[in-house]
């Protein structure tokens, strides 16, 4: 129980760092300097302003200096990260797979939030992730080098083909993101994730169109759905795979 609480708290701290990445990466700002500040008034934040979730609650979602509202995104990302890492720990225990999948989940969260707001997936994240994933497949035993390579080529190739054929719907950012996922979890689980992402994405698109929130031309950011599909595949992939096989 103590370890669960520790992982959860650590998750909120990591989530807090992910918020910094989500804010700064698309703005081409440095991740290290300057220190955290309010985006409205520029006031540097003190330790008491930086406690995950707690600061947001104590300050009632406002900046302590200028009283401007702070985005809901901050506590949501902190809780989401903590929640997902705790489930991951529950499923895998403390081992190398837990660490590698935790990093993947963090990348998925950052890409999803940036894609939602800016409709881009930053190369600054996908390129280093791809290289790190490949190198770690050589030295660690969560996946073989061959598994990692086919994980890049099969889903990446599929998305590249779709992006070239259909253009607007899928971007090169999506191609690189599925390649990163494939490099970490292999092509089979990635394809299950993509299948789930397409299913959930289509239903969401349909609902939004019926509700009149978007029309046929609106581009839905795909990263949040890929992220969701991958996470489901990571937790329930084995079960889904055997169900698909039995249907086949
Ligand atoms: Zn402020």
pLDDT digits 0-9 by tens, 15-26: 999 999 999 999
Q: pLDDT tens digits, residue range 45-75?
A: 998 888 988 899 999 999 999 999 999 999 9
Q: Say if CB 174 and CB 205 are below 8 A apart.
A: no
Query: What's the count of helices (H) and strands (E) in the chain, helices before strands?
Result: 9, 0
pLDDT, tens digit (0-9, with 9 covering 90-100), for 99-128: 999 999 999 999 999 999 999 999 999 999
- Spacing, Cα 71 to ligand 1 middle (Å): 12
Ligand 1 being an ion, which residues bring their Cβ within 5 A of it?
38, 40-41, 63, 65-66
With bands split at pLDDT 50, 70 and 90, how would you rate the model's confidence at 129?
A: very high
Contact 4, 86 (CB under 8 A): yes
Specify the 3-state DSSP secondary structure of 236.
helix
Predicted pLDDT at 83: 97
Distance 70 CA to ligand 1 centre (A): 9
Range 45-58 burial, b when 16+ CB lie within 10 A, else e: eeeebeebbebbee
Percent of the chain exceeding pLDDT 90 equals 71
d(CA 56, ligand 1 centre) in Å: 13
């Amino acid at each position: 129980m103590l370890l669960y609480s520790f992982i959860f708290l650590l998750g909120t701290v990591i989530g807090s760092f992910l918020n910094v990445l989500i804010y700064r990466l698309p703005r081409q700002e440095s991740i290290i300097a300057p220190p955290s500040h309010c985006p409205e008034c520029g006031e540097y934040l003190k330790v008491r302003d930086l406690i995950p979730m707690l600061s947001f609650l104590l300050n009632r979602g406002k900046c302590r200096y200028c009283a401007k509202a702070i985005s809901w995104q901050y506590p949501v990302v902190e809780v989401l990260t903590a929640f997902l890492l705790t489930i991951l720990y529950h499923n895998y225990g403390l081992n190398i797979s837990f660490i590698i999948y935790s990093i993947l989940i963090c990348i998925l969260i950052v890409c999803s939030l940036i894609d939602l707001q800016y409709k881009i997936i930053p190369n600054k994240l996908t390129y280093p992730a791809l290289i790190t994933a490949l190198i770690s497949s050589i030295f660690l035993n969560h996946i073989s080098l061959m598994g990692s390579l086919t994980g890049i080529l099969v889903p990446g190739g599929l998305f590249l083909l779709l992006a070239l054929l259909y253009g607007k719907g899928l971007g090169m950012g999506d191609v690189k993101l599925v390649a990163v996922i494939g490099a970490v979890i292999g092509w089979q689980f990635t394809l299950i994730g993509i299948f789930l992402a397409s299913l959930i994405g289509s239903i969401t698109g349909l609902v939004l169109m019926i509700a009149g929130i978007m029309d046929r031309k609106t581009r839905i950011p795909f990263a949040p759905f890929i992220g969701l599909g991958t996470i489901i595949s990571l937790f329930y992939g084995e079960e889904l795979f055997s169900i698909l096989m039995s249907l086949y």
